Structure 1
Amino acid sequence: MAPFEFVVPTTLPEAIALLDPDDPGVRPVGGATAVMLMMKAGVLQLTRMVSLRRLEAAHSEVSVGADGQLQIGGFATLSSLEHSPVVQEGWPVLTRTFKTLSNIRVRNVATLGGNLAHGDPHMDMPPVLSALNASVVLTGPAGERTVKVEDLYTGYYETVVKRDELITRIVVPPQGRQHAAYMKVTTRAAHDWPALGVAVVLDMAGDSVNGASLIVGAATDRPTRLTDAEAMLRGEALTDELLRAAGDSAARQLDIVGDAHGSAAYKKQLLRVYLGRAIRKAIAASDSKEHA
């Protein structure tokens, strides 16, 4: 690796001031797990790395606001969120998902803000948070602005985050009685990069689907909403026939591109099968909690 400047600010304004909107070689990092791999592979060269590990503790806190929304500091580690009683109680789908991310060594240092800002379409959290209708707060020299997680991504490794902005907060609406699940399919270890990820959030009215939020990851260049399948489920009771039809519809909707984790045909077949499984898992997860 070529030499680069390494700086460790202790306040948020100081960190933002160290960023450079005109220099793509200046990068902020939380745990630096993904950035270091890219640098070692020679696909990323930095002039300055701005470490966010020593910023004020307030930017890593987790709380519930007066409106019932989950407020997560952008620099909270994945491990701290995995073990957070607040998250476990109100957003169990997030707790279950955090346990499947990479390995514990990575989760101990990687931050949620960094995970979202990285822009890799194989990341697990963007589909889940998109399905939950979560937003991020971006902070830069001009102040704060809020963006839906679903609208954060514009392409492969491309986001709307400006070079002099940081994800300082993630806001998640109450999960409440919604049924939610995330399923990932990997070709190696269970915590590895997914060949396909499916996030499901269902609002049920008895046995019928009142509303569905279905997001797929790792199959396209960004997390993608399965609008056709959502419309197919709305107002209907969940039957095996309907779920098969929804899976077929989802596979037809997407322009899936193959990669090292699986061919396009393989991923299409995974989506046909796993959309229904994820929906069934969401229902089962909520039922088990209600009867615990």
Structure 2
Amino acid sequence: MSTFEFTVTEEQHLTRIDKVLSDLMKDVSRSQIQLWIKDGHVLVNDSATKSNYKTETGDHIYVTVPEAVEIEAIAEDIPLDIVYEDEDVIVVNKPRGMVVHPAPGHPNGTLVNALLYHCTDLPGINGEIRPGIVHRIDKDTSGLLMVAKNDQAHESLVDQLKAKTTKRVYQTIVHGVIHHEHGTVDAPIGRDRRDRQSMAVTDENGREAVTHFTVLERFEHYSYITCQLETGRTHQIRVHMKYIGHPVAGDPKYGPKKTLDINGQALHASVLGFTHPRTGEEMLFEAPMPEDMEKLLKKLQDSR
């Protein structure tokens, strides 16, 4: 456990304490500082405070940094397809069938379990020794995920997602023939009132959801398209494509029972782009679709 002491200067007078500390402790994210304040690890003149406290010249600030603690997920030696890695971020090509986070029913064998084994140098996210999963893709969707290795990277990548500056493109095969070349589905997504395990387009409890799609090829009963996410709601592409009458092939939850022979939905996160949180470099990664989906697409092409 480490302790830091600061004295507020005239330039910092009437500035929020979380802002003051994030400027002083440049290796710590503002969200982490807010958690420390909430948990009583930050004192001003020997008294507990709140994140919105406006500091005064001469205030004495004491910060006690708690030791990082390990989360319950255990490290497991599971092979990973690492597309890119440095001290701040990892880009992983997740296979179909792998759950991202441990959860009831899936305590082991997840991407987090694998990353805990792979990353032996994690400094921690929000005081926990764990990889920072910035966004998720469904168990039976394959493709690219960006993962933060520290607080600063995590905060930057989360902010980029909120600002809609990341690039996330999916390849998918959907039911039916889409006759126009491009389209946008702008429809709010929330929990399905009739089935709490599913999502649906709804105005009642929905949040903004926007998906742009482009048709690449058409077949007798299917279309091969790309979808670019503007937002990142749960099951977004699967729900939006069902909403416009073109559910994803192989989707056991939102698609018809009679579908293409594939183990899980024919949906692959093929392109991922973001700004590197430390260097500011524009990063862009691509991952080829899994072999079974590639074979499925070739079968449709050959039968045309």
Coarse TM-score class (shorter-chain normalised): under 0.3
Q: If each structure's strand is expressed as a fraction of its own residues, which one has the higher value?
A: 2
TM-score by length of 2: 0.27
TM-score (norm 1): 0.28
Which protein is bigger by CA-based radius of gyration? 2
